[in-house]
């Protein structure tokens, strides 16, 4: 696709696009659902954060060192933890410890596998691959992890009597919590499964669309999208599974008894 020129969006173009956000806020105001200020605040945060990231990446790309790249990844992971903490209303015991460990293993492992093994980055810390891929993996895993954590709290609370009965009949804490873990894991994967089922027919994902706009052959863009969706699915499943396996234990004592006030 030689000769393809990317259309440069100027400030008036962005202002026109932002009008759609104002439309959404206006409709929320019209329906009196109290979401208009949340929409406006979230959109302003998005603009500031993306502009800051754009200038930061321009600086990072010029530095041939892994240290700023790793620092950005740590900030991304920490920020995702903060966002999750703000949105999850019911938190499991030791929420931040459990979730940070799960994100580090699940997202970190999937990102390393994708960039270093599947794509074969040279060097492995190449920010043009590592940072965008890590962002997609962490972002999608954050949604699944939030669902897993919140659903686990709900299930442990709603099934308390059921679990106590199972424990009285000689079940272990893992056996008593099995149904709750299954429901929470199913909820965590639902969004990702629906996205995969609709991809290519109902929607064209952002990564694939961006590569096509940049002049990459559509078939190559499709291959990248398939690979990143596989990595995201693996990351969501591992992160959510670790949250559930590490999280449910804090509802029980070492003697396989439900802790008072935890469920």
Q: Render each residue's pLDDT in the chain as its tens digit; 263 residues.
A: 444 566 778 888 999 999 999 999 999 988 877 888 999 999 999 999 999 988 888 888 888 788 989 999 999 999 999 989 888 888 889 999 999 999 999 999 999 999 989 988 888 888 888 998 999 999 889 999 999 999 999 999 999 999 999 999 999 999 999 999 999 999 999 989 998 998 887 777 777 888 887 778 888 888 988 999 999 999 999 999 999 999 999 999 988 888 865 65
CA distances from 148 to 79, 165, 188, 233, 253 (A): 18, 24, 5, 14, 22
The predicted structure's pLDDT at residue 256: 84
Task: Quote the CA–CA distance of 263 and 258 in Å, as a whole number.
Answer: 8
Please return the burial class of 198, using the count of CB atoms within 10 Å of its CB with bins 0-12, 13-18 and 19+.
exposed
Residue 121 phi, psi (nearest 5): -55, 140
Task: Quote the CA–CA distance of 47 and 45 in Å, as a whole number.
Answer: 5
Count of CB atoms situated within 10 Å of the CB of 56? 14
The predicted structure's pLDDT at residue 5: 65
Q: Which residue has the tokens 């329906």?
A: 31
The predicted structure's pLDDT at residue 53: 87
The predicted structure's pLDDT at residue 205: 76
Task: Quote the CA–CA distance of 139 and 12 in Å, as a whole number.
Answer: 29
Count of CB atoms situated within 10 Å of the CB of 191? 14
Residue 99 near residue 149, CB atoms below 8 Å: yes
Q: What's the 3-state SS for 46-114?
A: HHHHHHHHHHHHHHHHHCCCHHHHHHHHHHHHHHHHHHHHHHCCCCCCCHHHHHHHHHHHHHHHHHHHH
Task: Quote the CA–CA distance of 3 and 25 in Å, as a whole number.
Answer: 40
Tokens representing residue 12 in the block:
């008036």
Count of CB atoms situated within 10 Å of the CB of 122? 8
């Amino acid at each position: 696709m030689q000769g393809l020129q990317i259309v440069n969006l100027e400030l008036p173009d962005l202002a026109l696009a932002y009008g759609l956000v104002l439309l959404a806020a206006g409709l929320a105001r019209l329906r009196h659902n109290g979401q208009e200020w949340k929409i406006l605040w979230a959109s302003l945060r998005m603009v500031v954060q993306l502009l800051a990231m754009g200038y930061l990446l321009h600086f990072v790309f010029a530095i041939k060192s892994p240290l700023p790249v790793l620092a950005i990844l740590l900030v991304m992971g920490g920020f995702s933890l903060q966002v999750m903490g703000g949105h999850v209303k019911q938190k499991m015991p030791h929420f931040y410890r459990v979730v940070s460990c799960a994100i580090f293993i699940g997202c970190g492992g999937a990102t390393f596998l994708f960039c270093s093994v599947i794509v074969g980055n040279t060097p492995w810390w190449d920010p043009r691959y590592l940072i965008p891929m890590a962002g997609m993996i962490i972002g999608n895993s954050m949604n699944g992890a939030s669902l897993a954590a919140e659903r686990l709290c709900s299930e442990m609370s709603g099934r308390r009597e059921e679990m106590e009965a199972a424990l009285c009949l000689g079940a272990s804490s893992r056996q008593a919590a099995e149904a709750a873990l299954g429901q929470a894991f199913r909820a965590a994967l639902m969004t990702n499964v629906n996205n995969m089922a609709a991809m290519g027919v109902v929607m064209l994902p952002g990564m694939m669309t961006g590569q096509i706009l940049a002049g990459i052959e559509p078939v190559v863009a499709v291959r990248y999208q398939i690979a990143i969706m596989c990595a995201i699915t693996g990351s969501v499943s591992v992160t959510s599974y670790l949250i559930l396996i590490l999280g449910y234990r804090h509802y029980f004592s070492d003697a396989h008894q439900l802790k008072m006030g935890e469920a």
